[in-house]
Structure 1
Amino acid sequence: MRQRKTSIPTQQIQEKSSLDRTKGESVTLEVAEIEQDIANLERGLRNSQGDDPVEGRDLYSLLSHDKSSAIVPSVDGGTSSVESSGQFKLISGGCEDDPHSLNDLGAQLLRRYELHGDIGDLQLAIRYLERAVHLTPEGHPDRPSRLAKLGISLTTRFKALGEIADIEQAILKNELAVRLTTDGDLDTPKFLCCLGTSFFERFKRLGDMADIEQAVVNHKRAVQLSPDGPQDKPNCLFNLGNSYLMRFDRLGQIEDVEQAVIFHERAVQLTSDGDLDKPNRLSSLGCSLLLRFERLGEIVDIERSVSNHEQAVQLASDGHPEKARFLSNLGNSFDRRFGRLGEMTDVEKAILSNEGAIELTPDGNPRKPEYFSRAGNSYWKRFDRLRQATDIEKATFNHNCAVQLLPDRHPFKPMYLSNLGNCYWTRFEFLGEIADLDQAIFNQERAVQLTPDGHREKPYQLNNLGNSLSSRHLKTGRYEDLLESIAAYRTSAHLPYGPPSARLYAANKWAWLARRERSRHPSHPPVLDAYKVAFDLLHLVAWVGLSIDSRHHEILAASSLACNAAAAAISENDPQLALTWLEQGRSIVWGQILQLRTPFDELRQAHPRLAAELTQISEQLEHGTSGDHFTINGSGEGAVQKYRQLARDWDRIVGEVRQKPDFERFLMPKLFSELRHAARNGPVVILNVSEYGCDALIIESLSQNLHHVPLETFSYQKAQSLRQSLHDVLSHQCLRNRHASAEPLFSDDFGGDNAFLPILAELWKSVVKPVLDHLESLQDKYLRITWCPTGPLAFLPVHAAGLYSPDGTSSNSLPDIAISSYTPTLTALLRNSQHATPDTSEFKLLAVIQASSPGTAPLPGTLEELRIIRNHVSDQSSQILQGGSATTSNVLSAMEECSWVHLACHGVQDISSPMESGLLLQDGRLNLSKIIQKQLHHAEFVFLSACQTATGDETRPEEAVHLAAGMLLAGYRGAVATMWSIRDDDAPFVADKVYARLLNDGRPNGSKGAEALHLAILELRKKPGGCQFSSWVPFVYMGV
């Protein structure tokens, strides 16, 4: 559900701090001073009409301090939270004839309104200021400042009461003030701020883009003209940040929200904690960070947003007229964090915050609809988690209030209508009442109609309408609803603006509905158009300007896209397109990193300038993928912004290259004519698992033609069931970590080792046997097959498929027929096969031996592995890092010098953060995120003698986020890895056999890695206890 930025009465969140008390005392002191100032001014005005006019001027000099020069209210000022204090009138007796005193009295009343929120003070301030302007003659040096003061007061009243006439007059007054000054005038930046503020507020109400452009222009000039220092500069920076943020909220351009964060952060840094504007500036910085989080998904932004909003709430006194807005903004950040992390405490805090904002805001206040809408969203999200009927009723009530309080012309009206429609749609899903669905469609259609073209929210509005129309079609069978739903999704997907994730969602839904309809009506247009749009959006969703963690998170929404699209292409008799899409839509992040490592040789020959620019940018981008600058405290903000600018430059230059002759497909996804060369060392079998069907695509090793083999007895559901069965077996038998015991871990109550039998049998009958039959290779005893499984098959031991007896012997099995290896993608296979084989004279093996890492169980078998390595490799050709010397920095440094690496230690797969998966060394974890930063030009072969080094992330099966794939990315041509835990005494045995084969006759040959592992496993199965599936099945080979 979409909504605006939003915040719980402080007493409901936490106890008042000493900081609050100090701040409260400061506010009380200023209020007392203002009260005295006003009293002195009023008395001076009255006395100036008596017999001694001097007394009035003397009293004016009694002002405790002149605040008139500081009266430049904040742009995002918010609304009054108290009722009008009654009728006011000018002091009688002709006292209104002193413009100087009237102006200052109006300014003090305005300031008192800002502190107390009494609308009567504001009304009287405007009357005094209007009179002061009227009495100030043309050409008087004070006329511009009095016009500006009146203009900002009218703007403030517009924000409080919403009368259009006020903002129109405010703009006129402020424009005149600016025209009457020059750029060299010290007050010009203030007047520009006032004018920019007025345009800003009118845009918020009427949505005219010309107004927000004028706001940016005027605030930018104000920043340029204002002197550095804490007096005026922070306010100018703050207002410019607000204008950029508002423009982003409309158009969705990333550059605008980046600028908003920059200027809001500078404003906060220049504002002391005791400054009464500090809460407002903190809250606006929190809003900028929140909107950037919504667009880019970086978790650091939502954490910083919450932190800034919490500070704003803490610094604002309970009587502060902006307290409701600060609470609402805090609630909105809690709401968004709940949507990302799912912590129930966040949605509870969001509800308290939003309810607190509503309670503090009087009826008639222009901001109240926004607070209702945010409260509705929080109740909706809690309902989605807990399914309590009272929550969906409260959500619907609050959204109805928001809609009813806004006129149709209000820019927020479409969003509130769409949110209300979502509530009715959700209530339909819960209760099944068709009337709710009709109400949902009615409101969402209005939302689409009222949303202007170019608005970043339009894809969301169309998607929400598509969801409701689709639900009504499924409920009633109404064909027109289906067509209209497809049309809504198709329109959303094709929009050139709005968040790419929303448009990708639309393309996926469009494809799903089109495919469903085509299965019943073959004459319906094909679904391939929808998938083509989806693939065009993928690189925008997983933009290279994001951190790798964020890219992986964004890809979650498209986790099944490649497989489903491939199935659709196969059903349309286009297996080559299916293969291309599988390659384009899987291992997306790995592919982006490989692009950055492209040598650009051909481009350098034809266009050296472009090649040089891309090379420089790619090096900086790759260095930035570490994510160290994406810090929670915001200390790396400058580096983050620089990194994203580099990404934009990369996109721009790549686009420029594609305009050149012969470079139209520069860095575009590879076509089948290129991918087929991956099979030069043997057939490559891509196993596609989709909810629409399962298929094998085979690239022959000799002809390199593409063949399609339907896996008719296999299904996505069956693959999921097998994966879950294997997961249960491994979890029950504690096969997730390397262990020292040589005894079988299986217990009879869970089927023992025989629990593997049905899994391996089903893989044989439904997956492997149909492929082998097609290859007609049963007579070729040592055929080499490279498997590229997708979906749940990526976690299943295809290489071990077969019909086995309970004692582990086989009647028909893949290991008896072929040497198997895996590859995450065809591109990885192509890249590594094209690398020149390292010179054997430069051969050197790095052995990392960690028999006892801190906090883990000892692994005595690793010492046996060290002995075996020393038997096979001379001291001159090896480097040993053992125990205390096996630190992460030492290992990474040595990997740059050695072509072969043996890593014997504990391994860990980090479920919550897959890029932090790694190997446990002496001083901590050697993470995948660190490994992939390396470009190891000498790399050839790596033996990962640890656990779960080829396991991957089950939520992202197509991304191959595991250590073995990371090693291939770093440059290794091949890797021995494990799918789950291995026994400590099996690892030395397998290593001995592998190195004996690879170092035959003393000549290292890493290209025989798959064959060496295959033969080693055959030997292991002959060993006592080695025939257990838990012993030999986890070993796999990846790469060339």
Structure 2
Amino acid sequence: MRRSSEAFDEFARTPEASTAEGQRELVRLMEQVVEASPRDAHYHGVNASRLAELLGRLAGKGEEWAWDRGVKAVERFLTLVPESDWRYPLYLLARARLYYGRAVQTYDVADIDQALPLIDQAFKSVGPNSGIKGTAAAAAAELSLHRYEATGDPTDLEASRSAALQIGWVRNALSIDRYRGAMTFGLASTWRFERLGDPEDATSAVAMVQYAREIAQDMQRPDLFDSVAHLGGIAYRALYEVTRDPTHLDTAIDNYQSTYDATDEAEILARAQALDNLGNGLAARFDARGDMTDILKAIKCSQTALRLLPDDEVGLRAVATRNLAAGVLTLCEIDGVSEDDVGVGELIQEVLTRTDDLLREASVPETPFDPARSASRLNETEAVRLLAVQATALLHLAVRSAEPLPALERALRVLSQVRAHWEQPYITSARYALGGISQRRLPEVYVGALLWRAQLAPDPQPWLRQAFEVGESAKSRLLSVQVQRLAVDPPGEIDPDLAEREQLLLAQLARLEGQEIRHLDSLAPDPLRVYRMQRRAELTRELDDVWARLGQSSEAAADYVALRRGTNSRWAAIAAARSDIVVVSLLRAARVEVRASPTRLITLVRTRGRNGTVLLDEFRNDPTPDAYRRFVAEVPADRGAGARDETWSRLLAPVLRRLGEAVGPIDRVVLSPPTYGRGLPWHLALERAGWHSTNAGSPSVITLPSLTMLVDSATTSGLRWHVPVNAAEASGIDDPDGIGEGISAPRLIDASPAQGPPVVVGNPTGDLPAAEDEAIAVAQTVGVEPLLGGAGTREAVRNALTEASIVHLAAHAVTDTDDPLASRVKLADGDLTVNDLLGGYVRSRIIVLSACEGARGEPIAGGEVLGLAQVLLRTGVGAVVAGLWRVPDEATAHLMKAFHSALARGCSVDSALHEATTRIRAAGWQQPYYWSGFIVVTGALE
């Protein structure tokens, strides 16, 4: 057997091995290795797997004979022994490797899905200490990791790590399987680090490198050192991202260089990958030390790798092209670089040519990329990354061109292709990169490109409107989609069975998304989480099919489907149609018309009336982080209102003042702030900047996380499907272990706005006497008996949320900055947390969170902001009135009584709050500390 194996290895290193005849010879030699292996030995099955994988890889390259030969071989192996024989699982693994080999070449997930059950069968059919169990676990780890590479599904990444860890529990696992497990776990950890940024993943990867090297040394397998060095480069690169210690980069580059130097010239793919990794390390070291030599070497590495890679290696060419682009685009942004010296223009053209070739060869359509309906040979993530690379390169080309318009317009077309991708709610993905641009930055680039196009257009308005819509659609995506789906009924003419199916699918998706938010602190591959991810994908596919059928019914149905998908710009039409409001958007946008593309804060205002225009102004830099820091120090401070000179609004005033003068008198403003400005009282900032109403006062202001949440009014009615996040909790059963999350319990509920009398809760914890006085005063105003002290229980409040038209909570509330899910209202018998509210269905028209900071929220993974006000909107509340800071009791009581009086007279929520603040200012509480702390958050205009 040894002689046959050596003959195979020797021939595999020759140039002839890559020819068609050479590949047939490789198969023949491996067949000899299998035949020479004793059939009663473990290695017969191992070599059978090697043969099967080789045939699968050749089949993936288009060699049909190889697939037929592989199928016959594995079927023959399975007949060698009965299923009860200890060797049978080894031949199951050989069959799995046949599918795996083809999947490596084609990115066909169906092949991997054929292989994984076979591996699982082999794993389960042997004892806990069988070496075969270790072999199966190693195979499952590798396959799951490749599946992740194809799909980007984090469940596959976690499944790979979990399978690799299983090997450690197998007492008789082969050393080679321990090595495979260490290498797979290490690589998976580096990819997990790229996705989530968890420092433990970087340190785990380095530990696995050291462990794998020790195993290779113990086995006396120097041929494995190259693979260890390859992983070492990636792992130490990740460790550098954690420590910022350039010596870790030096170690990574040494590993990459060692891998390349040790790779035989005939091993073209291995050399190309080694060069690509070396280039990555050099580019990172340039970022750390600024040595131009490193970035030029990195570009040269990528160019050489691309020359080596054969045309059929589409996936590897895509990665190398992205790395080339990253180096070139870095070079573009370096001040003082002479284009004549380094040929930047030619390099950009090379990037564009290579991305064009790849996208054309891979059949990526020139439409918004939809992997479910595409015949592309690239997986979704890689295709979108290439498109993002292309867009960025085109923008750099436009900057360097005397006639920028052709390149700019092409960049806009490419950005429109990837827009649908970044608008997907990546709940679990805190870090996600597309072509060197973070997912959250890509909308900034798109908005910046649209603004540049507006500058070059005779009529800038269409481009400004598009920038407005693109920028707002990228904000608070998950919350926007959920609120829109709650707020609108389907048109009457659509198929009622399809409409009901759509409602049930939406309810089931809302449940799964609620569960996902609940478990943001963990990516552990527990069975329930794996099920959630898989089930969510299935439901989404079915929902897409339902929407496709619904959208064909009528024009109204098509508009409805667009709204459900979250692609409808209904809010823009509302803004144009309503003469009593203006909508204001504050967006971060890249200045793409200059080389470094710095980020600025722009303000877009859609003026009232059907022929209204979009006004544009900008801050050179984003002042909101500094404004918020100053505001916290100057206004909401118990040590004395007005004790400090206010400077926070001065940072915002110049731009807001110019816009206010252009808008003129206006009674209502709907405003969507930038991320860092969500804690600011924008109604106060507008007043300070001179905005005024038609009666010479200040306008009322509605604050929204995104203008895409804006609807004419809440139109939900009748019965609607709802699926609780936790079936046990919804039934009043204590469920500390979360078992109820695994039970889907759809039920029909009345979805129309609650018509019951208001419910007022005051001082449920017994330590807020002023809140009790406030509740009594508010209850008298609305004509009900308040729930005071011990009567303010969790059950009473939960019932109120489904039955009362208005719920007023004068109680302690806590915003938990470390764990947003633990943000809570303190009641008589315990806390009502964000976690409790997730996945509920609240029918109240208005909820008032008094005596607390309920308007504040904290960012969670994916860029969403989560807090009491945000989660209440998600559950169906029409409007939330809440505080940005703790306002003194007496002032709050006076304001709330005035607010409910105005509501009772028929005022809209924002107008009622504006009237209430005007009254308490007249009553002596003139400092903003007393009156400007409450805001209205609602998407339903009255």
Q: Give the alignment's TM-score, normalised by structure 2.
A: 0.75
Name the CA distance, whole Å, in 2 between partners of 1:727 and 1:370.
53
Check the 8 A contact 1:369/1:402 in 2, yes or no. yes
Whether 1:707 and 2:620 are equivalent positions in the alignment is: no
1:579 aligns with 2:472: no
Contact 2:49 2:93 in 1 (8 A): no
Instruction: Summarize the alignment of residues 589-608 of structure 1 with structure 2, pairs less than 5 Å apart.
Output: 589-593=478-482, 601-602=490-491, 605=493
CA contact (8 A) 1:230 1:270 kept: no
Q: CA deviation at 1:301?
A: 5.9
| 2:239 maps to 1:382 | yes
Q: Note closer, same or farther for the CA distance 1:488–1:208 as it changes in structure 2 (3 Å cut).
A: closer
* Paired position in structure 2 for 1:320: 175
Give per-residue Cα distances to partners, 1:449-490, cap 9 Å, x unaligned.
416457445443221110112233434433222333455566
1:801 matched residue in structure 2: 685
Identify the match of residue 333 of structure 1 among 174, 188, 197.
188
Structure 1 residue matching 2:644: 3-state secondary structure: helix
Alpha-carbon distance, 1:374 to partner = 0.6
Aligned counterparts of 2:537 and 2:531: Cα–Cα separation in 1? 10
Report how far residue 410 of structure 1 moved.
5.4
Q: Does 1:442 align with 2:272?
A: no
Change (3 A) 1:531 1:879: farther
Is it true that 1:759 corresponds to 2:614 in the alignment?
no
Secondary structure at the residue paired with 1:322?
helix
Q: Deviations over 1:262-314 (max 9, x none)?
A: 65555544443222222233334444555566667776765564454334135
Compared CA separation, residues 994 and 294, structure 1 to 2 (3 A): farther
Unaligned runs of 5+ residues in structure 1 are 1-121, 128-152, 178-186, 736-742, 747-751, 805-809
Q: Percent identity?
A: 18
Q: Give the partner amino acid of 2:278.
A: L
d(CA) in 2 for partners of 1:221, 1:924: 63
- Among 719, 739, 744, the alignment partner of 2:639 is 744
Give CA deviations for 1:370-415 in whole Å, capped at 9, x if unaligned.
2221111111122233343432222122112323425555555443
**Residue 154 and residue 868 in structure 1: after superposition, are their counterparts in 2 closer, same or farther (change >3 A)?**
farther
- Which residue of the partner structure matches residue 350 of structure 2? 484
Q: Pick from 916, 920, 936: which aligns with 1:1037? A: 936
For residue 773 of structure 1, what is the aligned residue in structure 2?
A: 661
- Identify the range of structure 1 (228-237 vs 472-481) with the bigger mean alpha-carbon deviation: 228-237
8 A contact 1:328–1:354 mirrored in 2: yes
Aligned-pair CA distance for 1:650: 2.7
Paired AA for residue 1011 in structure 1: S
Equivalent position to 1:903, from 797, 806, 809: 809
Where do residues 978-993 of structure 1 align in structure 2 (5 Å cutoff)? 978-993=883-898
Deviation at 1:523, TM superposition (A): 0.9
Deviations 1:931-979 (A, max 9, x none): 453444x431111226443334458897454433433333322221223
CA contact (8 A) 1:425 1:468 kept: yes
SS at 2:653 equivalent: helix
Is 1:403 aligned with 2:403? no
Q: Distance in 2 between matches of 1:863 and 1:841?
A: 25
Residues 278 and 527 from structure 1, CA distance in 2 versus in 1: closer, same or farther, beyond 3 angstroms?
same
Q: Alignment partner for residue 530 of structure 1, among 403, 406, 411?
A: 411
1:868 has 2:758 as partner: no
After superposition, the Cα gap between the structure-2 partners of 1:394 and 1:867, relative to the gap in structure 1 and judged at 3 Å, is same
CA offsets per residue over residues 299-349 of structure 1, 9 Å max, x none?
A: 676556445433413535697343322222232234344444545454333
Deviations 1:1-32 (A, max 9, x none): xxxxxxxxxxxxxxxxxxxxxxxxxxxxxxxx
**1:392 lines up with 2:305 in the alignment:** no
State the secondary structure of the residue aligned to 2:880: strand
Aligned equivalents of 1:997, 1:661: Cα separation in 2: 42
- Which residue of the partner structure matches residue 208 of structure 1? 61
Runs of 5+ consecutive residues of structure 2 not aligned to the other structure: 365-375, 454-459, 592-599, 719-750
Retained in 2: the 8 A contact 1:301–1:632?
Answer: no
The separation in 1 between residues aligned to 2:818 and 2:305, in whole angstroms, is 38
Say which SS state the counterpart of residue 272 (structure 1) adopts. coil
1:480-511 deviation digits (Å, cap 9, x = unpaired):
22333455566678854545445545545544
Work out whether residues 328 and 353 of structure 1, in 8 Å CA contact, stay in contact via their aligned partners in 2: yes
Alignment match of 2:526 (pick from 634, 638, 646): 634
* Structure 1 contact 331–354 (Cα < 8 Å) conserved: yes
Helix, strand or coil at the partner of 1:717: coil
> 2: distance between equivalents of 1:962 and 1:384?
31
Map of 2:724 onto structure 1:
none
Residue aligning to 1:821: 702
Whole-angstrom CA distance in 2 between matches of 1:361 and 1:476: 48
Say whether the 8 Å CA contact 1:617–1:646 is kept in structure 2: yes
Equivalents in 1 of 2:7, 2:504: separation in Å?
A: 53
Highest Rg: 1 or 2? 1
Residue 528 of structure 2 corresponds to residue 675 of structure 1: no
Q: What SS class does the counterpart of residue 786 from structure 1 fall into?
A: strand
TM-score by structure 1 length?
A: 0.69
Between the aligned partners of 2:287 and 2:117, the Cα distance in structure 1 is 43
**Does structure 2 conserve the Cα–Cα contact (< 8 Å) formed by 1:490 and 1:506?**
no
Structure 2 CA distance for partners of 1:309 and 1:904, relative to 1, 3 Å: farther
Displacement of 1:761 in angstroms is 2.9
2:542 is aligned with what amino acid?
D
The Cα of 1:558 is off from its aligned counterpart by: 2.5
- Which residue in 2 is equivalent to 1:146? none
> Are the aligned partners of 2:623 and 2:652 in contact in 1 as well (CA < 8 Å)?
no
Match among 913, 920, 923 for residue 1020 of structure 1: 920
2:324 is the counterpart of 1:471: no
Going from structure 1 to structure 2, the CA distance change for 1:394 and 1:553 (only over 3 Å counts) comes to closer
1:918·1:925 contact (CA, 8 Å) conserved in 2?
yes
Which of 844, 856, 865 is matched with 2:757 structurally? Answer: 844
> Partner of 2:127: helix, strand, or coil?
coil
Letter in 2 for 1:372: A
**1:995 and 2:894 are equivalent in the alignment:** no
SS in structure 1 at match of 2:849: strand
- 1:998: how far off? 1.3
| Counterpart selection for 2:605 from 698, 701, 707 | 698
Relative to structure 1, is the Cα distance of residues 707 and 467 closer, same or farther in structure 2, using a 3 angstrom cutoff? Answer: same
CA 582–413 in structure 1, closer or farther in 2 if over 3 Å, else same: same
SS in 1 for 2:168: helix
Structure 1 partner of 2:908: 1008
**Amino acid of the residue matched to residue 640 of structure 1?**
M
Contact 2:759–2:806 (Cα < 8 Å) also in 1: yes
Structure 1: how far apart are the matches of 2:821 and 2:68? Answer: 45
Residue identity opposite 2:136 in structure 1: R
Given the alignment, which residue of 513, 532, 541 partners 1:648? Answer: 541
Q: Secondary structure at the match of 1:950?
A: coil
Structure 1 residues 515, 192: closer, same or farther in 2, change over 3 A? same
Tell me the CA shift for residue 1037 of structure 1: 0.9
**Counterpart Cα distance in 2 of 1:932 and 1:609:** 28
| 1:149 aligned residue | none
Matches within 5 A, 1:20-419: 122-123=1-2, 168-169=27-28, 198-203=51-56, 208=61, 235=90, 249-252=104-107, 264-265=119-120, 267-290=122-145, 305-315=160-170, 320-361=175-216, 367-404=224-261, 405-407=263-265, 409=267, 411-419=269-277
Confirm or deny: 8 A CA contact 2:123 2:137 kept in the other structure: yes
Q: Give the letter aligned to residue 659 of structure 2.
A: V
Moved more, 257-266 or 561-570: 257-266
Q: Deviations along 1:863-913, whole A, 9 cap, x unmatched?
A: 3343234323444xx7849658633x7644542222222234444445566
The one-letter amino acid paired with 1:825 is S
- SS in structure 2 at match of 1:943: strand
